[in-house]
């Protein structure tokens, strides 16, 4: 945790400061957050389109909001933007689909191939960026993003 001075008072002296989290601390919190998202780590046999969209929107909002508290290097910015892009691609593919309330799996594929492709692309994109974050900061993503979607 770094401290950033934001004021000094006189005549008796005194100061005020803000705690500023390091990039590693922020990415650690971000990994913890994404570990809780079932859209990434839950290989369940059925899904509800609305829940998936809601989850991706929450992930996207969180990704953007964490960047407000840190100064990003070009590499860090690219990692965050790649995750945001993955969210946008997923939402673009799934939103217009006229899917039933519950979408079932047929073996290792979702019954709706468009949904199946959107889910695979989303999870693969997150796997790549999470791997970069783990490598760069020595962090560990505890959950497994399943290969069989």
pLDDT of residue 146: 81
Q: Which residue has the higher pLDDT, 72 or 10?
A: 72
pLDDT for 98-145, tens place per residue?
655 655 555 665 555 677 788 889 999 999 999 999 999 999 999 998
pLDDT for 58-79, tens place per residue?
999 999 998 887 788 999 999 9
Tell me the mean pLDDT in the region 17-35: 84
Exposed e or buried b per residue across 78-115, where buried means at least 16 C-beta atoms within 10 angstroms of its C-beta: ebbeebbebbeebbebbeeeebeeebebeeeebebeeb
- With CA atoms as reference, report the closest residue to 66 among 6, 36, 25, 37: 25
């Amino acid at each position: 945790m770094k401290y950033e001075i934001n004021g000094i008072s006189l005549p008796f002296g005194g100061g005020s400061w803000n705690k500023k989290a390091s990039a590693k601390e922020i990415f650690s919190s971000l990994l913890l957050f994404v570990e809780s998202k079932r859209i990434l780590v839950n290989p369940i046999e059925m899904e509800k389109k609305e829940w998936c969209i809601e989850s991706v929107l929450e992930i996207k909002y969180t990704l953007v909001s964490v960047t407000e508290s840190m100064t990003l290097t070009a590499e860090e910015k690219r990692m965050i933007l790649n995750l945001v892009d993955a969210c946008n691609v997923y939402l673009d593919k799934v939103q217009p689909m006229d899917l039933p309330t519950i979408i079932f799996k047929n073996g290792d594929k979702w019954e709706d191939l468009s949904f199946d492709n959107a889910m695979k692309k989303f999870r693969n994109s997150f796997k790549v960026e999470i791997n970069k974050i783990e490598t760069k900061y020595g962090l560990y993503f505890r959950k497994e993003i399943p290969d069989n979607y």
